[in-house]
Amino acid sequence: MLIPTYNNSKTIAQVIDSVLEYSDSVYVINDGSTDKTPEIIKNYQSRLTILSYDKNVGKGNALQVGFKQAIADGFKYAITIDSDGQHYASDLPTFIDKLDEEPNAVMIGSRQLDKTNIKGSSSFANKFSNFWFKVETGVSMEDTQSGYRLYPLEPISKMKFFTKKYEFEIEVIVRLSWKGCKTIGVPIDVFYPEHEERVSHFRPFKDFSRISVLNTVLVTLALAFYLPRNIARTYQKRKFKDIIKEDILGGTSSAYTISASIGFGIFMGIFPVWGYQLIIGFSVAHLLKLKKAIFFIAANISLPPMIPFILYLSFVLGGFILGKGTWAISMDDLSIDFLTMKSNIIQYIIGASVLATVSGLLAWLISYFLLLIKEKNRN
């Protein structure tokens, strides 16, 4: 158990007492408290591990200090609980029981956020965080801001983090999701004192600004690399015939969605952005809610055996568009070595762009009408 704390002298003893009823492996991380917290936790030094430093750095730093020590002590998991008295230690068995089903998952305590004494700003902040978590990972969660969590420590032991304050709790779950860790919600009870009794160290402007900057970075990385990579890995493990049977012929998507996915895949497979077709394509397909498996199949039109034909047609089309059309293209012109085709690069880019657009539109229209005929015959 990890209990990060900063100036929670009114509640820290209660939290420690309740946690010790369920665990004797408890770490309290004192994040530079200036109230009576150090004196209070000192009374428990024979029953738990105290990690303390003088200067307040932030909750994220406190958690990382706790993770590091727990890993050094040989633990495989860490459960974190806030020291403000909001969470109940009685929910600890709920996390432990779930481990049998999900041994590698990040578990986040899902609070009942429809309580009448929750600030509107808190509810908005959680919905805001949930939205961006889904954009960055593709995973829907009800409560991404809860501090009551279970973390698998093995993947964390190999990671370097960039944030040290509240935003760390966003960074860690997003990056663990990118590493393939499943993220699930675990229902928990929660205590909400009246507004005037709450102790919060969240600074709306500064902390929200840092969270916004972090989300900007994470969204960019997600769309540019991690989401396309993870999706590609998923579909590469599936057999080609299974994708055709399940996603195209047996899927529940509309003919428009399927045909648009095919057309867009053909377009990206030919479009002159060699090496980046899947990264860009998966990002756009995700935003447009196209079928990614179908896009992936169609984009493979640019497999090595097809590349000479794509290059040939691109140069031919580019030549005709530029007014120097000819079907007689030498093999040197078809080289994918940009040093040897430098003089013809504009011709190639123009031709490939036109070829990609025309091919994509034709693939979309043809597949759309074929799917409509299939649906009509089925009916």
pLDDT of residue 69: 98
Report yes or no on whether pTM surpasses 0.75: no
Helix (H/G/I), strand (E/B), else coil: 52: strand
Sheet order of strands, 183-187 included: 49-53, 27-31, 2-5, 77-80, 149-152, 106-110, 183-187
pLDDT of residue 376: 77
Same domain, residue pair 60 and 196:
yes
Same domain, residue pair 68 and 148:
yes
Q: Is the residue at 164 inside a domain?
A: yes
Q: Tell me which of 197, 224, 251 is where a domain ends.
A: 224
DSSP code string of 309-376: HHHHHHHHHHHHHTT---S---TTTT-S-TTTSGGGHHHHHHHHHHHHHHHHHHHHHHHHHHHHHHHH
Q: How many domains does the chain have?
A: 2
Same domain, residue pair 214 and 314:
no
- Helices of type H across 21-152: 37-42, 59-72, 92-98, 120-137
> Nearest CA to 228 among 173, 183, 178?
178
**Any idea what the Cα angle at residue 153 is, between residues 148 and 156, rounded to 5°?**
100
Q: pLDDT tens digits, the chain, 379 residues: what are they?
A: 999 999 999 999 999 999 999 999 999 999 999 999 999 999 999 999 999 999 999 999 999 999 999 999 999 999 999 999 999 999 999 999 999 999 999 999 998 765 545 554 567 778 889 999 998 998 999 999 999 999 999 999 999 999 999 899 999 999 999 999 999 999 999 887 654 445 555 555 577 788 889 999 998 888 777 877 776 676 666 666 666 666 655 566 788 898 999 999 999 999 988 777 877 887 788 788 888 778 888 888 877 778 888 888 888 898 888 887 667 655 554 444 444 455 578 888 899 999 999 999 999 999 999 988 877 776 6
Q: Is the residue at 312 inside a domain?
A: yes
pLDDT of residue 339: 47
Same domain, residue pair 52 and 196:
yes
Q: How many CB atoms lie within 10 A of CB 269?
A: 25
Same domain, residue pair 202 and 275:
no
Supply the Cα-derived Rg of the chain in whole angstroms. 27
- Burial class of residue 305, CB neighbours in 10 A (0-12, 13-18, 19+): exposed
pLDDT of residue 13: 97
pLDDT of residue 21: 97
Q: Tell me which of 172, 196, 224 is where a domain ends.
A: 224
The HSE-up count of residue 222 (CA atoms within 13 Å, CB side) is: 22
Q: Tell me which of 170, 194, 224 is where a domain ends.
A: 224
Rounded CA gap, 166 and 122, in Å? 14
Q: Is the residue at 231 inside a domain?
A: no
Question: Using an 8 Å Cβ cutoff, are 106 and 139 in contact?
Answer: no
Question: Using an 8 Å Cβ cutoff, are 353 and 244 in contact?
Answer: no
Same domain, residue pair 129 and 258:
no
Q: Is the residue at 63 inside a domain?
A: yes
Question: Using an 8 Å Cβ cutoff, are 153 and 138 in contact?
Answer: no
pLDDT of residue 286: 78
Task: State the amino acid at position 374 in one-letter form.
Answer: K
Say if strands 149-152 and 106-110 run parallel, antiparallel, or are unpaired.
antiparallel
pLDDT of residue 125: 78
Q: Is the residue at 86 inside a domain?
A: yes
Q: Which run of H or of E encompasses 27?
A: strand 27-31
Same domain, residue pair 33 and 107:
yes
Same domain, residue pair 102 and 45:
yes
Q: What is the dihedral of CA 146, 149, 153, 158, to 10 degrees?
A: -10
| Helix 292-299 × helix 277-288 angle, to 10° | 150
pLDDT of residue 179: 93
Same domain, residue pair 158 and 285:
no
Same domain, residue pair 282 and 215:
no
State the CATH number of the domain containing residue 110. 3.90.550.10
> Nearest CA to 27 among 90, 86, 72?
72
Domain, as residue range, for 164: 2-224
- Considering only the C-alpha atoms of the chain, give the largest distance between any 2 of them, rounded to a whole number of Å: 88
Helix (H/G/I), strand (E/B), else coil: 87: strand
Q: Is the residue at 230 inside a domain?
A: no
Give bridge partners of residue 79 from the DSSP assignment: 150
What are residue 254's phi and psi, to 5 degrees?
Answer: -70, 160
Q: Is the residue at 208 inside a domain?
A: yes
Q: How many CB atoms lie within 10 A of CB 283?
A: 17
Total H helices, total E strands in the chain:
15, 7
Same domain, residue pair 198 and 293:
no
pLDDT of residue 241: 67
pLDDT of residue 329: 57
Q: Is the residue at 207 inside a domain?
A: yes
Same domain, residue pair 279 and 365:
yes
pLDDT of residue 297: 81
